[in-house]
Amino acid sequence: MYQECTHELAEQWKSICEQFKPEDLQATFQFIQAHAEDFVIEFYQQMLLEEHATEFLSAEMVKNRLKNSLYQWLISSFEVPFQHNYNEIVEKQFKVGDVHARVQIPSWLIIRGVRVIIKKAFEFFATEANSNLNQFNYLSQILCFATEIMCRSYEMKVEVHNDMKHTYRLFSAMQDVAVHKDRQRGTLLDWENELMFQVVSDHTKMTQPILSKTEFGLWFIHKAAYAFSSSEQVQTITEFIYQVDELIQKIGQCESQAQAIEMIQSIRAKNREILHLVDQIFQVSEYINSGNDALTQLLNRRYLNTIVSREINFSRKNNSPLTLLAIDADHFKSINDRYGHAAGDDALQFLADVILQYAKGSDYAFRIGGEEFLLLQIDTTIDRALVVAENIRKRVEKATLKTSTGEEFNFTISIGVHEYDGHPDYQRFFEEVDKALYMAKNNGRNNVSVG
């Protein structure tokens, strides 16, 4: 992606180094080695004081994961003139910038952190007798140039990410409009009827979930609200959902059934407003297929990063569980070889249908290539995800499929499960669930493993 400018930037890095005497380069490298740990501590101490940074960082994450990464970055950046690996160090800055873009850490926050390191370095230089201005000049130039390269890749990635977010909104807004609207309308009305039944039976023992945690609520907050984010009705519907939540919590505190029923009437009125507004935002007639897998009609990988990144941010801000299932058909090539590709396609379509059977309306199901699938489960703990994974596995294992010539065949699947652990980079989320899937394969296939 950056190949065309890597060599040019490597030459610029080399040119900076060549401005200084070898003894200054060596002395600065030794200075970095001696104080790198102090720079890391100062960097993250200042970062964690910034309120905006708490969206991306936690004390535990800094302690267990990030301190060593920053330490190694400092060492490698000043080791370059001795290793002569200028191309490699430029590519490393590009990768760091890519990670910052994926996590959506603003570039100004990184620049501030580098400024903190330079300030701390100046304090050390001022107290050390053998240091000189040339060494500080070299240190400052390298830190600023490395940050400049990061910002190049950061801006490119953010631009692509924003374009993808926009096209995803259009895509998701226009998918199966009538089906989603009618299904979710029915879900909301069923929930309302069950609420009425429980209140009439005994409002003090009500077990009905709040609206935001129902099928309808999760679907609207995690899908419809994003798809129609430019619509003025979205904010109103969201406010109504949380107002209904507050009313439900008050029902159990009512002194009489009459008061509880009065609350129900208020809830029903707000639900009618919600349904009316939902009808308004669903005035869409077209269907965009570019984000769907042609065979299974599940989402393809085009919007995978956009969706997962958004749900990770929601999970971090709201402290809600998020779980990912990686699903892979076992020995799939043997089905194609023995029964033909048409039978293989039937098996994949069947697996997609099973995944959707156990997915909530707020979940996201992807076919990411070949016989590989992902199921992103919203507001789902690891225990619940394991139940879903095992149900999917058993359903596939017990099924017998027929080819067009009447031959029967069976197949199995392996599933890796991973619950989001708070790391802001979605790529790590994918890597962890891939490890879990590998464990399932390595344990003999046709099983579920947790990563």
Residue by residue, DSSP assigns 90-124 as HHHHHHHHHHHHHHT--HHHHHHHHHHHHHHHHHH
Provide the 3-class DSSP secondary structure of residue 24: helix
pLDDT at 393: 97
- For the record, the structure tokens of 118 come out as 């330079």
Provide the 3-class DSSP secondary structure of residue 326: strand
pLDDT at 97: 87
**Which helix (H) or strand (E) is 216 found in, with range?**
helix 215-219
pLDDT at 184: 85
Cα distances (angstroms) measured from residue 443 to each of 383, 384, 412, 436 = 20, 22, 14, 11
d(CA 239, CA 208): 20
In 235-359, beta strands by DSSP E: 322-329
- For the record, the structure tokens of 241 come out as 């959902």
Split the chain (451 residues) into runs of 10 and give each run's mean pLDDT: 75 95 94 94 84 69 75 95 94 88 81 93 86 91 94 77 60 58 86 87 81 92 79 87 92 84 89 85 50 82 86 89 96 90 91 93 89 95 96 96 90 97 88 96 95 86
Q: Which amino acid belongs to residue 364?
A: Y
**Which helix (H) or strand (E) is 450 found in, with range?**
strand 448-450
Residue by residue, DSSP assigns 33-98 as HHHHHHHHHHHHHHHHHSGGGGGT--HHHIIIIIHHHHHHHHHHHHHHHHHT-HHHHHHHHHHHHH
Q: Does domain 301-450 have CATH number 3.30.70.270?
A: yes
**Which helix (H) or strand (E) is 375 found in, with range?**
strand 372-378
Classify each residue of 191-230 as buried b or exposed e, where b means 16 or more C-beta atoms within 10 Å of its C-beta.
bbeebbebbeeebeebebeebbebbbbbbbbbbbbbbbee
- For the record, the structure tokens of 327 come out as 């699903």
Give the chain's count of helices (H) and strands (E).
17, 7
**CATH C-level class of 3-159:** mainly alpha
- For the record, the structure tokens of 273 come out as 């407003």
d(CA 127, CA 31): 12
Helix axes 86-103, 67-83, angle to 10 degrees: 160
Residue 408 dihedral angles phi and psi, to the nearest 5°: -105, 145
d(CA 440, CA 264): 48
d(CA 338, CA 319): 48
Judge residue 259's burial from the number of C-beta atoms within 10 Å of its C-beta, 0-12 exposed, 13-18 middle, 19 or more buried: middle
pLDDT at 63: 65
d(CA 67, CA 283): 50
Please list, in sequence order, all residues whose beta carbon lies within 8 angstroms of the beta carbon of residue 191, skipping any fewer than 6 positions away.
208, 211, 214, 215, 216
Terminal-to-terminal C-alpha distance of the chain: 31
